[in-house]
Chains A and B, each alone.
Chain A
Amino acid sequence: MQLKALSSRKFIIMGLLPAIAVYAIFVFVPVVWSGYYGFFNWSGIGAARFIGFDNYTEIFRDPIFWTALRNNIIFVLASVFGQIPIALIVAILVQKDGKRSWFMRTAVFMPMVLSTVVIGMIWQYIYHPQIGILNFLLEWLGLESWQRVWLSEDYGIYALIPPLIWSFVGLYLIIFIAALQNIPGEIHDAAQLDGATGVRKIVAVTLPMIKGTILVAVVLCISGSLKSFDLVYIMTRGGPAHATELLATYMYNSTFTSYRYGFGSAISTTIVLVSLVLIGISQWLMSIKSKSNQ
């Protein structure tokens, strides 16, 4: 019996090994490597010069880094408090109403199958200062005073939030629908017998039942929005004058526009650390919450 357990454990390890090896080679090693390059001054060509922690101190003294970090945190908050509640509400509505659910699901999910480039182009034309639909709509409604140059120094980062939310809500919608469908029917029946309906049922029964899924979605959401790059790169390239810079675009511009590979690597490492800290904080907050609930 014991022998069998041992061999099956061996088998599990053997089975996991290829995946772990691939992960280590293509994810873990480059991360460490990148951290190592961060100690060098290297233009990508010629010899690299070891400069210790200079790149890292420069990052923390660079105001662009702090702008990028602030923008990234705005993105994380907007995603967590935008995408997840909207997706949850839509999922519950779709769950309730069978007739319109197919249409709703498709409509909300559609941006997920669009390439980010397409999304970026669509929203760029919505925000276009001369021929944009948004400014046109405001004029038509008589709200000329609300017209703006949307993708500008002052409003750019906020103007990027609607396309960001719009493009990812579909993913969480699908996750939540799957979770809602996994709630056993008996529980709904029991809730009904106890007289729980409407909002009360959602808060007291449905949400606690899919709490695990929500937590996973929040983590996905945080890590996803920390990695944001493509939408911003297409719509503003981090400009004007770094106003919409994110950590990832800051890294990309430093590496591939200024050709400072060492500095760029140091930023990448910093992004990893910042991500770990944020994920850690969110996990900690949730564990406190779940403990206080018990």
Chain B
Amino acid sequence: MRNFTRTGTAAALSAMMVVLAACGGGSNNGSGGSGDQVTLSVMHNWTGQDAKATAMRGLLDQFQEDHPDIKLEVEGLATDGLKTRLRTVAAANEMPDLFVMWPGVMTQEFVSGDLIQPIGEYLDSKPEWKDNFIENAFDDYTVDGKIYSAPMNLAPTSFVYYNQAIFDEYGVEVPKTWDELLAAIETFNQNDVIPIALGNKANWFVQSTIFSSLGDRVTGTDWFLKAVAQDGASFTDPQFVAALDKLQELSEADAFQDGFNSIDENQMVQLYFQGKAAMFISGGWAMANVVKNAPEDILQQTHITILPSVEGGEGDPMSTSGVVGTGMGISSKLEGAEKEAAMELLYALSGPEGQQATLESSTLVSYDIPLDESKADPLFVELYNLMQDIKITPVYDAKLSSAAVEVTNNGLQELLGGGDPAAIAEKIQNAQVGAAQ
């Protein structure tokens, strides 16, 4: 008996040693050993129960089943957690083999740290795949002419979701111009209806869903890209201050309910679900929530459109802000068999089958495939068709430096609280300049 206990303790101890050793080992990139079994560590953000996450996890499982010689070590984290985690492992130079990453600034920073490798050769080897992506799909994954990932979806960030019944009740047309919007706001306010529900506690919200589009309407895309590059344009230019003015007009007209800076996105959508608000402005991602959780009568009255045009603005009114969606980054440390396996997994997730599965889960893709309208939810069909007619313009937080994004987000909160547009513009300008140094 005593002997038995001792063996047990020894076993427990040695198990502990193994665990400790495994911790110390970190990423086992040395493909050493027999070589017939390849292990890939994968990090993703498909942790939810929504259709998209379920579909993507299904693809991973399918891949594992089809490739018994490749072992996937999968770790799922919520989106915010994943972003922070990626930063942390990047600082320690311990990237997972494959991971969900974001286009634009994050991709550029990972490339500058030599953490990810280009996938151009593999893309070129499958032209029927590469050529099917929409125009500019690879732009935000391209650094110095090399492509580092392929987008798995498309994320427009700015749509107006509106309740037709409330518009009809007060005889208001869905606004096509800025003046019509202001008139509609006034009518709704007179009738104690919240014109636009807003939840800007997480302060990126207004920047991403309202201001990126509104800014583009006023300043035009060219000016914005120049200002980002600090090449012949500056955020203190009059057109940018004018764009800030436009946004402030909304809060001055009481377009949003009281305390919009202290409630979050979910509480915002709740106000709309309760029929207290005529509209809310959010990204394509809100669709899933509306379709799944809206009360039946609200869902049937809900339609979707883009922000109204702004008179005298430089931008194309038939556009909305958006980014190509996340893509899989591949660690620069992978070589040989591991690299091949990683490319195959990339193809499984962002290739034709992956794109089809994504579209069927009511998520837009940056890939040219038709939608089966009989299967999809009517509101998603509306969104899909709307997207066929409009152009995508940049989102501020995908282009500006991280520090300038933070200043912009806070500046917009200040602006909606009555801050001075010119002073806020100057702060944004300083942050963007500071980051370039």
Interface residues, chain A, with chain B CB atoms under 8 Å away: 43-46, 124, 127-130, 149-153, 156, 236-237, 239-242, 253-254, 256-261
Contact = CB atoms under 8 A, between A and B. Distances in A.
Given A44-B87, A130-B271, A151-B262, A240 B109 contact: no
B402 interface: yes
B406 A239 contact: no
Given A43-B109, A149-B258, A261 B91 contact: yes
Nearest to A153: B417
Given A240-B413, A240-B417, A129 B257 contact: yes
Interface stretch (B110-118, B357-365, B379-387): B110-118
A149 B200 CA distance: 14
A275 to B, nearest CB: 25
B369 interface: no
B410 interface: yes
Contacts of A45: 87, 90-91, 109-110, 112-113, 115
A150 B406 contact: no
A241 B261 CA distance: 9
Given A43-B402, A45-B110, A241-B419, A149 B411 contact: no
B78 to A, nearest CB: 14
26 contacts: A43-B109, A44-B87, A44-B88, A45-B115, A46-B113, A124-B262, A129-B258, A129-B259, A129-B262, A130-B257, A130-B258, A130-B271, A149-B258, A151-B259, A151-B262, A152-B261, A156-B262, A237-B203, A239-B261, A240-B262, A241-B411, A241-B414, A257-B406, A259-B87, A259-B403, A261-B91
Nearest to A147: B258
Contacts of A43: 109, 402
B390 interface: no
Interface of A is mostly: loop
Given A149-B258, A152-B417, A260-B403, 20 more contacts: A45-B112, A45-B115, A127-B262, A129-B259, A130-B257, A130-B258, A149-B259, A149-B262, A150-B259, A151-B259, A152-B259, A152-B262, A236-B201, A237-B201, A239-B203, A239-B410, A240-B261, A240-B413, A241-B411, A259-B87
B112 A129 contact: no
Contacts of B276: 130
Given A129-B262, A241-B413, A46 B112 contact: yes
Contacts of B200: 240
A152 B113 CA distance: 40
Contacts of B90: 44-45
Interface residues of B, number: 33
Contacts of B261: 151-153, 239-241
Interface of B: 84, 87-88, 90-91, 109-110, 112-113, 115, 200-203, 257-259, 261-263, 267, 271, 276, 402-403, 405-406, 410-411, 413-414, 417, 419
A233 B15 CA distance: 39
Contact of A256 (B84, B110, B413): B84
Contacts of A239: 201, 203, 261, 410, 413
Contacts of A46: 109, 112-113
A64 B263 CA distance: 22
Contacts of A151: 259, 261-262
